[in-house]
Amino acid sequence: MIEIHVPDALVESQHLYAGEAGRAFVAGLPDLAARTLERWELTPVGGSMHGMAALVLPVERADGSPAVVKFQVLDEETEGEPVALRVWDGDGAVRLLDHDAATGTMLLERAGDGRELGRSAGTGRDAARKGVVVLAELLARLTAGPAPAGMRTLGDIAGQMLDDTPAALKEIADPGERALVARCADAVREVVGEPGDRMLHWDLHFDNVLAAEREPWLAIDPKPLAGDPGFDLWPGLNSLFDPDDVRWRFDAMTEVLGLERGRALAWTLGRVLQNVLWEVEDGRELPAEDLELARRLLGRAR
């Protein structure tokens, strides 16, 4: 049986953020990986990769073609990933080659050498802007069609955010920050009745776009939901964060995607609200970059 090493950083993140499910996942990962490689007739090639939530193994299939296997905890964020990848069918995203529904394990197209857009963008504002345009062009394709029935919805998520906001505001001591977060909630309240139905990626930042061979760039690692494409802009505004460039990025992305600016602004402020609520819930400091992003979009730069 092939032995699979589980990186310490992945173990730590799963224990910290995924609780009992994360501990069970990393404990069973070596056996799951070995069984998956045997079942799908895969040969590991090269070292494994990982983020905070997944282990990715480069492999070679029985026919000699390259691929990767992705192992991750099966939860409400990850269960929709194979659904989205099937819908996109390689149009702007890596292709799904096989899937084990019981464990959430996926066999995926290997996108070139795995070079991330963040590492390819270079340094400086001009380079970052080129990367933002790449993100926007991919999003325009990925969000072009409706999400299938049964996908979790932005409407449900936004409704829960608004329900959670009053208690969270009481935990924010700084009156300026409290007022800013309240304004984000007000913006969401204006659009929550029309949450949209497009297939969203939800997490398309620079490190979730890889250089590829059949296309220049392909998206990976979606956390899909049905909703308004404006909710997908925040990662592009936050990647390689530059507060003085927020307004340019927002204008460029809304133009490429053909979005109505008012709605796009409201849903982008919704992402700021979502991030704030997560930090408050976990007892951490408010996300300074997100608050500054909101100030810049609202014309309230310090």
pLDDT per residue over 62-94, tens digit each? 999 999 999 988 888 788 999 999 999 999 999
Residue at token pair 């040969």: 43
**Lowest-confidence segment of 21-30, 32-41, 139-148, 206-215 by average pLDDT:** 21-30
Q: How far apart are the first and last CA of the chain?
A: 59
Report long-range pairs for 293-297 (Cβ below 8 Å, ≥24 apart).
293/234, 293/237, 293/238, 293/241, 293/243, 293/246, 294/180, 294/183, 294/184, 294/269, 295/180, 296/243, 296/246, 296/247, 297/246, 297/247, 297/250, 297/265, 297/268, 297/269
> Residue 266 has which token pair?
């409201």
- Quick one: pLDDT at residue 75? 82
| 8-109: CATH architecture | 2-Layer Sandwich (3.30)
**C-alpha distance from residue 236 to each of 107, 141, 155 (Å):** 27, 15, 22
What is the distance between the alpha carbons of residues 267 and 255, in angstroms, rounded to a whole number? Answer: 16
Task: Give the residue-averaged pLDDT of 154-180.
Answer: 98
Answer whether residue 245 shows pLDDT above 50: yes
Contact 140, 258 (CB under 8 A): yes
pTM: 0.92
User: Which has more pLDDT, 18 or 39?
Assistant: 39
Residue ranges of the chain assigned to CATH 3.90.1200.10: 117-298
* CA dihedral of residues 59, 65, 71, 75 (deg, nearest 10): 170
pLDDT in tens, 200-221: 999 999 999 999 989 999 999 9
Residue 203 annotated as catalytic: yes
- Quick one: pLDDT at residue 302? 39
Homologous superfamily (CATH) for 117-298: Aminoglycoside phosphotransferase (APH), C-terminal lobe (3.90.1200.10)
* Of residues 15, 9, 11, 16, the one with CA closest to residue 284: 16
Q: Which one of 100-104, 120-124, 231-235 scores highest in mean pLDDT?
A: 231-235
- Determine which one of 98, 164, 186, 203 is catalytic: 203
- Quick one: pLDDT at residue 22? 80
Contact 38, 3 (CB under 8 A): no
Residue ranges of the chain assigned to CATH 3.30.200.20: 8-109
